Chains A and B, each alone.
Chain A
Amino acid sequence: MPIRLEMRGVRKAFGATKALRGVDLSVAPGEVMALVGENGAGKSTLMKVLSGAHLPDEGQIFLDGKAYVPGNPLHARESGVAMIYQELSLAPHLSVMENILLGIEPKRGPLLDWRAMRQRAADALREVGLEQIDPATPVQTLSIAKQQLVEIARAVALDCRVLVLDEPTSSLTLQDIEKLFALILRLKSRNISVVYISHFLEEVKRISDRFSVLRDGETVGNGITGETPVPLIISLMVGRSVDELYPRSHRTPGEVVLEVKDLAGVDKPTQASLQLRRGEVLGIAGLVGAGRTELMRAIFGLNPVVRGEIRGPASWATGAGMVSEDRKLEGLAAELSIADNLTLPLLDWWVWPSRQQRACRPWIEKIHIKCQSPGQRVAALSGGNQQKVAIARLLHADVDVLLLDEPTRGIDVGSKAQIYRLIDELALAGKAVLMISSYLPELLGTCDRIAVMCRGRLSETRERKDWDEHQLMLVATGQEER
């Protein structure tokens, strides 16, 4: 069997972080190859290498037997490698045909050949089963599912040989998923190779011919999907040992401080109930996009609540505080000082900068924020120290309920260990901690109880000892209804 796309020993490092540590992948023409792995396993970096956004440090890539070194995304497209990202990359104000033929517009002399454009767009739309759509429709009037098909039509119009789909079903309804699968089968019959990236193993099982597992930037296994049981794939995905990173004192949970009943937000969550007790750490596992952040934001009043009930502290004034998953966009005002960031939630009518700074000093010392002074700009700090400022904000406000969304994302191991220790201390002191994390060992290491979010629904909460990575992954990928 000839090989369409082959990657051998691809490596890529960003500074000290090794994002890819040896990836091997081969896809035959007309084959659907599933690429699976946990969050942060290196899938998106791999895609960026394929699309020419990053150059690999080492390794070789071949396309139909010829060396393929994409210098930029345009080059990748011209070579016949098309990417469909989770975040669609269409120009919303332009029409369907303009989007499909963007950059390869047919021309007659210096002018656009609108008739040829319409024709070619209509052909591409027919290929993806969207013949009922007028090519002149503005893209923004279409549903997300149809926009995705338009993007695939663009790939078809480019005569792509390899189509990479990144989590294509994450925002689709069941009906649309069926349509997408039908289309993938049609593309297969046209000898197009498909690389299908997904967390959802039941989809992988259904649509793919072969699979390849990525873990910590490395290919750790592959095989024929039909011959491999799902639990085996999962154990390949998570196969790690929990290290000694996580201190856990003996904690005895107290009374319930925060209760969430049948909560539903605008889009997500669709159904979530939980009880958070004093002196415990409650973890929320789940895949990116499952609705975990939306749940936390709804509890904290940042997202509207459509249905359900929240009882207990859910704002700064009533004794709750939240750490955002995105330090840069939401968590911190980078141009303001540490002192300003730390004291922002609870300022008196009069603010004395010297007092503000004095109030910060104990926290800076206690959780070891490396800085010159409390007056220093947050932007000047390292990621780990920035995150400590975001957490210190909660400590300073002395809240009873701590809502932590990915509290250790993107920080060094040393800072992570300090944050785990801090969470343990807080729980021991009788605070209630609700923590979202995509990193399963972290959840199993720090939490007392864990619930799992899958497609907007929160599972029942179970004791940590009743969970293992395998179980968490099963529920998170929708294999098991809880």
Chain B
Amino acid sequence: MKGKWLDIGGRFLALVVVFMFFAVLVEGGKFYTPRNLENLLRQSAVYGTAGLGMTLIIITGGIDLSVGSMIALSVVALSWVLNFGGSTGAAVVGGDQSAYLVYQHPVLTPILAVGAGILAATLAGLANGCMVVGMRMMPFIVTLGTMGVIRGLAKGIAHERDIYPPEATWIGGIMDPVLTSKGGAGVLLPTGVWILVAGVIVMAFVLRYTRLGRHIYAVGSNEETARLCGVKVGMTKLVVYTLAGFFCGVSGLMQFSYIGGIGQPTTAVTYELFVIAAVIIGGASFRGGEGSVLGTLIGALTITVLYAGGQQMGWPKWVQEMVIGGIIILAVALDRLRHRRVA
């Protein structure tokens, strides 16, 4: 147990070092203004939330490449419902035939929209799980396929256009900065960031203090042992992939707000790479059996700091990309070295 905290501490230290690097080099102390700090957190929230599910999957020894597509599906499903209920504005889809309930109680519309976004992504995750478990296919192949299928579905629902909801709702505001706006000082951080914090706490608890959590580690560490010990390996994986879909759905709410309350079917492309990188930097291993949500949170922050830092330093895009890629390789190489020492 001590070793685990040491491990997390080391990763946190690396994050601090990266942060200090930019804090010193970005001129005028702009990197550590409250506003920039808040921005870093907002950006991390999307990766971090999706990363919660990815952490579970990678602990079981799997992978999910459809994360970006599931986020987009959530964004689109959400906007579609907003438009469905909306009576005014330029409705793109389904504006004329609406449920009676929605007309009578307009307050329900955003709630239904949130439900639809999360549900759509959760079902997508469930589909991933069914194929991985039921048809015994490699998770890499399954999710490589669904990455395209789900993205296509999102585009289809949106008729390959951005969906503009008829009116602004509270969903569009969950990622709005609060430090710099007048009304929000009381809540300290944007709602989305709080959701991430809550998610990290809940999932850290689930992994450590529930049977499901211990089974997830057992399946990833040695699937045969888990089976011998009566663990329902298939069911565990199914739950994990479904949860990953759920977290992508939540992440989609944040993304919706982050990109300005638009239902953009082409959003979150290549996010899976950032999310996987965050999980790996956070200490998970592709061989399974290892990883923690706290580590993933630190990983997501590290990726965001690197990204934002590079931008604010005015590095060209190609340098930024090379730096981030290099850091991922470095993180994994360090892990390997550490493992060799232990073994």
Contacts and interface: CB of A to CB of B under 8 A. Distances in A.
Interface of A: 302, 315-317, 322, 324, 329-336, 340-341, 344-345, 347-353, 375, 379, 393
Contacts of A329: 222, 224
B247 to A, nearest CB: 21
A330 B213 contact: no
Nearest to A345: B229
Contacts of A341: 225
Nearest to B205: A350
B214 interface: yes
B76 interface: no
Interface string B290-319: 100000000000000000000000000000
Given A302-B228, A345-B230, A333 B211 contact: no
Contacts of A316: 229-230
B343 A353 contact: no
A352 B211 CA distance: 10
B226 interface: yes
B209 A333 contact: no
Interface of B: 1, 208-211, 213-215, 217-218, 221-222, 224-231, 289-290, 343
Given A349-B211, A375-B1, A379-B343, A335 B221 contact: yes
Nearest first, the 3 closest Cβ-Cβ pairs linking A and B are: A333-B221, A330-B224, A333-B222
Given A330-B222, A335-B221, A324 B290 contact: no
Contacts of A351: 208-211, 213-214
A393 B290 contact: no
A335 B289 contact: yes
A331 B217 contact: no
Nearest to A375: B1
Given A350-B210, A351-B210, 19 more contacts: A316-B230, A317-B230, A324-B224, A324-B225, A329-B224, A330-B225, A332-B222, A333-B222, A335-B289, A335-B290, A336-B222, A340-B217, A344-B226, A344-B229, A345-B229, A351-B208, A351-B209, A353-B209, A379-B343
11 contacts: A335-B289, A335-B290, A336-B218, A340-B214, A340-B218, A344-B214, A344-B226, A345-B229, A349-B211, A351-B210, A393-B229
A353 B208 contact: yes
A268 B50 CA distance: 46
B214 to A, nearest CB: 5
Contacts of B290: 335
A375 B226 CA distance: 18
A458 B12 CA distance: 59
Contacts of A375: 1
Nearest to A379: B343
A331 B227 contact: no
A334 B222 contact: yes
Contacts of A345: 229-230
Contacts of A335: 221-222, 289-290
A332 B226 CA distance: 9
B2 to A, nearest CB: 9
Contacts of B210: 349-351
A194 to B, nearest CB: 37
Given A317-B230, A344-B229, A336 B224 contact: no
A428 to B, nearest CB: 26
B211 A350 contact: yes
Contacts of B214: 340, 344, 347, 351
Contacts of A315: 230
Contacts of A340: 214, 217-218
A336 B209 CA distance: 15
Nearest to B217: A336
A352 B230 CA distance: 20
Contacts of A330: 222, 224-225, 228
Contact of A333 (B213, B225, B230): B225
Contacts of B222: 329-330, 332-336
Contacts of B1: 353, 375
Nearest to A352: B209
Contacts of A348: 211
A333 B289 contact: yes
A236 B290 CA distance: 51
A170 B231 CA distance: 33
A350 B207 CA distance: 10
A350 B209 CA distance: 6
A157 to B, nearest CB: 36
B106 to A, nearest CB: 40
Nearest to A347: B211
A140 B227 CA distance: 29
